[in-house]
Amino acid sequence: MNKYVAITGASSGIGYETAKRFAQRGKNLIIIARSADNLDRLKNEIKGIDSSLEVIAKPTDLSQKENVYALYESLKGLDIETWINNAGFGDYRSVHNQDLTKMENMLSLNIEAVAILSTLYTHDY
């Protein structure tokens, strides 16, 4: 059975570059982010690094709690050796200028998704 490195927030920035570094080390990957297009672009780049690697793209909005659990369930049959919780965003405007819905999504992603996924995988391993 293949082993995988799972990376949330893999569609850009640190997550994107981290996925490429793991690919250079010959690791199969599960790349997770909201943007399917960016995940496809990353998947193609990884195939250019090592075409023998298995890359599973999971376009998922982890700011929605039901998606966090659905992602976990969809990955249950895979042997994940490393999990990297990288997804997150910030809002640097002053509090009186912030959009409450955006703040709620930020807290859900940056805190709840990380805690839930970490706890679920800690229980499994």
The pLDDT-based confidence of 125 (bands split at 50, 70, 90) is confident
CATH at residue 97: 3.40.50.720
**CA distances, 122 to each of 27, 35, 82, 114 (Å):** 21, 27, 11, 12
Q: What is the pLDDT of residue 23?
A: 98
Q: What is the pLDDT of residue 91?
A: 84
The pLDDT-based confidence of 84 (bands split at 50, 70, 90) is very high
What's the mean pLDDT when you consider all of the chain? Answer: 94
Q: What is the pLDDT of residue 7?
A: 98
Q: Record the pTM.
A: 0.92
Q: What is the pLDDT of residue 95?
A: 83
In which domain, by residue range, is 115 found?
Answer: 3-124
Q: Are 29 and 19 in contact (CB under 8 A)?
A: yes
